Amino acid sequence: MRVVDSSLKTTCPVNRTTSERSPVGLLCLMLVAVLLTGCSVLQAVYSQAPRYVQWRTNVAHHFSAEQYSLAKAATQRWFDWHRQVQMPLMAPLLAQAADDVKGPISPALACERRDAYLVITKQAVAQAAPLAAEVMVRLGPAQLARVQAFFRDTNDTFREKYVSDDQPTQAALAVDFLATWGGLVYGDLSGAQRARLTREVMALPFNARTILQEFQRFQGQYVQLLRDAQAQALTSDEVARRLEALVLEGIDPQEPQRQAQMQRWVKAGCAFASTFQAQTTPEQRARASRTLAGWQRDVLAIVASR
């Protein structure tokens, strides 16, 4: 039986394409919820995030009633932990960011801030993997087929929206995405800023096609893990270890060739962040600082309400 809570579809104004293109599975959907701080009322969004995650997970897997209940409980447990452990860590990082955006940001500083968030992300992965595994070991062949179909659909959506054989067009699509989400912090970008960003995006060592390939790498390994869990009757502990390793290989790879590639991407991304900040106006920087400070206050309110 497929379980769907239709009321979840309107709990937060989240961009559907953005959420769908993220790596799917209970673990990754949990992590995606952390990114929902882009909504204007953080406290309201955070209170609804477990329901949204549960809905998106069910869309991907078509849970039975029993699986749905288990996944719902696992999602809530992760968010309870996140509220108690990780939200207190995010507040000072947001305060730091609110100060950073007042002036220039060097590539080294951008990478330093990225590393701080990577630590938190790894903690989130370690906490989520066992919870996700408890659900994954109970999935059947029909759900494996559903996940594969879901991945195909989301990849097609991403490809149509962001991938183009024409490099300037693909770069412009990326800038549209950056302008939408960067606008939550800095406000609207000028035509000149968008034109410069387009040129800088074209110089990056990765693009939307690269990102899609990374999604597909994760997807293939996730599907294989589900297949192995069913065929080999893997325990939840075995699935949790493999799932955690799979996700970490995507965000902090240890295999030498992939590690070197990731280092090139990170270095280029940090430089891009620095040049983006350099072309912002004093008004945009002031707005960014106010926005981030507001999010920091919201995080403190969430922590206090636990």
What residue spans define the domains of the chain?
A: 6-304
Model pLDDT for residues 154-186, shown as the tens digit of each residue: 999 999 999 999 999 999 999 999 999 899 999
Q: State the amino acid at position 210 in one-letter form.
A: T
User: Which residue stretches of the chain are H helix?
Assistant: 16-21, 26-34, 42-61, 65-81, 87-100, 107-136, 141-162, 167-186, 191-202, 208-231, 236-251, 256-278, 282-304
Mean pLDDT of all residues in 280-285: 98
Distance, in Å, from the CA atom of 306 to the CA atom of 293, rounded to the nearest integer, reads 21
3 pLDDT band (50/70/90 cuts)? very low
Within 10 Å of residue 174's Cβ, how many Cβ atoms?
A: 20
Taking residues 187-195, report their average pLDDT.
95
Pull the structure tokens for residue 250: 């995507």
304 or 280, higher pLDDT = 280
CB contact burial 74-111 (16+ within 10 A = b; e otherwise): bbebbbeebbeebbebbbebbbebbebbeeebebeebb
**For residue 11, what pLDDT is reported?**
35
Task: Categorize the per-residue pLDDT at 288 as very low, low, confident or very high, splitting at 50, 70 and 90.
Answer: very high
What is the pLDDT at residue 30? 43
**Is 288 or 48 the better-scoring residue by pLDDT?**
288
Question: Using an 8 Å Cβ cutoff, are 259 and 60 in contact?
Answer: no
pLDDT of the residue at 259: 96
Question: Residue 304: is its pLDDT beyond 70?
Answer: yes
Q: Which amino acid is at 233?
A: A
pTM of structure: 0.84
Model pLDDT, residue 59: 94
Instruction: Tell me the pLDDT tens digit for each residue of 49-68.
Output: 999 999 999 999 999 999 99
Axis-axis angle for helices 107-136, 208-231 (nearest 10): 30
* Residue 233 to residue 255: CA distance in whole angstroms: 28
pLDDT in tens, 211-228: 999 999 999 999 999 999
DSSP, res 82: I
